[in-house]
Amino acid sequence: MRVTVNLPDDLAAQLDNLQNQLPQILQLGLRELNATPQVGFSGFADILEFLAGLPTPEEILALRPSTTLQAQISELLEKSRSTGLSQDEERLWQSYEYLEHVVRIAKAKAHIKLQLSQPQ
């Protein structure tokens, strides 16, 4: 199927070099968009929106993935160990690794902030 979309110039420029990957980008975006809300965080957008809301250090330290997100990560990890990942799955895995890195940085800074705020 052929689809024509009008995009802002800055977004079009970002996608220009990724034309061959557009189906995968759309698939991942739709998967994230259709994620069912639940306790915990179901994906990238939820976590980034949470962090953008400037939570307290305690809230950051309590941050955990949803059971659905944890199951997806566990499934990819198991598949990586057994049969290997497809190209799309490898990209998804790398995205999860990056998201984990961002959350670890946030948690480390929250921990430091809490330590500095406690009376000596």
**What does the pLDDT look like over 41-61, one tens digit per residue?**
557 778 888 888 999 999 999
- pLDDT (0 to 100) of residue 3: 80
Provide the H-helix boundaries in the chain.
9-16, 22-33, 44-52, 57-61, 67-82, 87-117
Phi, psi of 2 (to 5 degrees): -105, 130
Q: Region 97-116: what's the mean pLDDT?
A: 93
Domain ranges of the chain: 37-117
CA nearest to 100, candidates 119, 79, 72: 72
- pLDDT (0 to 100) of residue 33: 64
In the chain, what percentage of residues exceed pLDDT 90? Answer: 32
Question: Which residues share a beta bridge with 65?
Answer: 41
Q: Quote the distance between the C-alpha of residue 74 and its chain's center.
A: 15
Backbone dihedral region for residue 54 (phi beyond 0: left; psi -120 to 50: alpha; all else: beta): left
